[in-house]
Each structure stands twice: as structure tokens, then as C-alpha cells.
Amino acid sequence: MTGYVGGGTFAIDARNLGVEYSLRFTRKTTMRHTFQNLFQRGGGPTRFWALREVTFRVAQGESLAVIGPNGAGKSTLLQVLAGIIEPSEGQVELRGKVSSLLTLGAGFDPELTGVDNIVLAGEFMGIEHSEMRQRLPEIIAFADIGPFIDAPLRTYSAGMRARLGFSIATAIDPDVLLVDEVLATGDQLFREKSRRRIEELIAAAKGIVLVTHDMEWVSTFCNRAMLLEKGHVVAEGEPGTVVALHQEHTERVRAEKEAEAARLRLSGVM
């Protein structure tokens, strides 16, 4: 089921993507332990591949769901597509205007109001100031965060920031939209609004990549799905089939962990 979707006009073309990270310097690694690891022999691997040999295409008008367990490389893939991370190997081509909540979140200023951040986001994405001003009422109405639109962003909840980001990202008529779990944020009314907005983008032949843990949403809405595990594509194709495989793998891992825990209890280790 893994594969490369060929033919037709595409919005995203990713070939043999790989992202390699160093394990030596991380937030949880102290300087003392780092130098110990540098001089110890057999101290374990110091690098790992978050993504490896990831190849896929998204055609115009397609919505690709990227699913998988925690640590599979889903968010890393989105960051590569958004241009936040440079791949260690391979290449990716995106055609047209790209909009991503990831890059918007990085560009938000917590001291500015919601209105000011909308205008700032326009500058960040290279959109004319006058055009963003024209789109301002629509963005504010869709975000629906009330008087907080005139409050500093630092007073927003995570859900309110996501609503504002989604409203901006989808209001600029992108050719490629990258979404990371935003549809799991907020109340049911906003989820339905978000769903309708993405449906409109797909109908307008836009390409969408969505990272989500909502399997029902994937099965009923997305055109295709791709399953990542340990940085590799293990399945790609019809959403229902890929979701079923993911659920099967998840259940097997859960059962194995429960069996191991039971074994350790019986042996007196736990």
C-alpha cells in the first residue's frame, strides 16, 4: 500500500524525504551527561532519523490525512512541508501559495492584539497590507472570539489562538494548506465551520495535508490517508483501509505492553 502517486497536476511532490536529528544536545540532556556520552564507548546511538525515505504526492483537490502513533514523525513532516525544517535528504516541491498554522503560530506576537496579529500575519505571508485589511472583517467573524480580538494574544487560550490561526490561514485562498490538529480544538460549532471551510478549499482544487488523531474525521472526510510509523510510510491509500491498519497496529502494541507488564508483575520486578 505504500507508493508514489503519479500522474495529474499536483500541489505537493515529496521524494525520499529524510530528517536526521542529533540526540547529544537536547533540553533534557545536561552538559555533564553530554560529555559523559561523548567519551563513553558504546553509549548508544547519538543520532536518529525522524523521517526516512518518505515519498508521496498530493494532487490538487486532494485532502491527505497523515496518521500514526506519537513520535511517528507526523509533525516533523508538516514542518518540512512548511519550510520550518530543512530535510537532511530528499526534496519537496510545493506549487502555489502555501498556508500553514505552524508558520503562523511561530510569527504571532503575544504582546499584540488579535487584530494586529492578523495584519502582521499578512506581512509574514507576503500579502499586501490593503488586502489583509479588506479580509479583516471575514477573519474576525470566522474566528468568533468576541472582544478578545482587541486583547493581547498572551491573554488567549490555546483554543483561541488556534481559531485565530485557522481563520487567517484559510482566508487567504491558499493553494496548499497544512493543518496540525486544529480541528480538535474548540467547540462543536467551530469544528463544523472548520470542516466546511476545508471542504470549500478542496472543491476549489486546493491541496491539503492534515495531521490528526481523529480517525472518524479521516475516514469520512479525507480523500487519502498515509500511515507513518517510526519515520517511515507503512501504508498509503483509501482512508478507511489505512485507518483500520493503524487501529490494528495500535491494538497490537497495547496488547504487547499489557502482556509485558503482566510478565514483570509475575516475576516480581514490578
Query: What would the DSSP string read from start to end of 45-60?
Result: -SEEEEEEEEEEEEET
- Cα torsion 229, 231, 234, 236 to 10°: value is 110
Per-residue pLDDT of 13-27, as tens digits, reads 999 999 998 876 554
φ, ψ of residue 74 to 5 degrees: the values are -65, -50
The pLDDT value given to residue 47: 83
Helix (H) or strand (E) holding 236: strand 232-237
Look at residue 86 in the predicted model and tell me its pLDDT: 93
* Amino acid at site 182: V
Residues 125 and 229 in one domain: no
Cell (9 digits) for 254: 497495547
Question: Is position 35 within any domain?
Answer: no
C-alpha cell at 64: 491527505
Surface-to-core class of residue 232, CB atoms within 10 Å of its CB (0-12 exposed, 13-18 middle, 19+ buried) = middle
The more confident residue out of 91 and 263 is 91
Q: Are residues 265 and 181 located together in one domain of the fold? A: yes
For residue range 214-240, what is the model confidence (pLDDT) as tens digits?
A: 888 788 778 899 999 999 999 999 999
SS3 at position 16? strand
Residue 39 inside a domain? The answer is: no
Q: For residues 263 and 161, what is the distance between their CA atoms, to the nearest angstrom?
A: 45
Residues 14 and 61 in one domain: yes
Task: Give the closest residue to 171 by CA, choosing from 206, 146, 223, 147.
Answer: 206
What integer pLDDT is reported at residue 243 of this predicted model?
94
Q: State what percent of residues in the chain have pLDDT above 70.
A: 84
Tell me what percent of the residues of the chain surpass a pLDDT of 90: 40
DSSP-derived secondary structure letter, 93: E
- Looking at the fold, whether 155 and 221 belong to one and the same domain comes out as no
pLDDT in tens, 93-117: 999 888 887 766 667 899 999 999 9
pLDDT value, residue 190: 82
Number of structural domains (the chain) is 2
How much is the pLDDT for 242? 95
d(C-alpha 140, C-alpha 133), whole Å: 11
Terminus-to-terminus CA distance in the chain, angstroms? 40
8: pLDDT strictly greater than 70:
no
pLDDT of residue 36: 52
Residue ending a domain, among 145, 172, 199, is 172
Instruction: Tell whether the model's pLDDT for residue 149 goes beyond 90.
Output: yes
User: Same domain, yes or no, for 215 and 88?
Assistant: yes
The answer for residues whose C-beta is within 8 angstroms of residue 150's C-beta and 6 or more apart is 113, 114, 115
In this structure, of 117-121, 131-135, 193-197, the range with the lowest mean pLDDT score is 193-197
- Is 148 among the domain residues? yes
Q: Would you state the pLDDT for residue 7?
A: 45
Same domain, 266 and 181: yes
| Domain boundaries, position 128 | 98-172
Pairwise CA distance, residues 160 & 196, whole Å: 19
Bridge partners, residue 224, by sequence: 64
Contacts of 215 (CB under 8 A, 6+ apart): 67, 243, 246, 247
| pLDDT of amino acid 28 | 46
Question: Partners of 209 in the beta sheet?
Answer: 64, 178
CA angle 27, 28, 31 (to 5 degrees): 85
Residues 83 and 158 in one domain: no
Find the CATH number of the domain harbouring 52: 3.40.50.300
Widest distance between CA atoms in the chain: 70
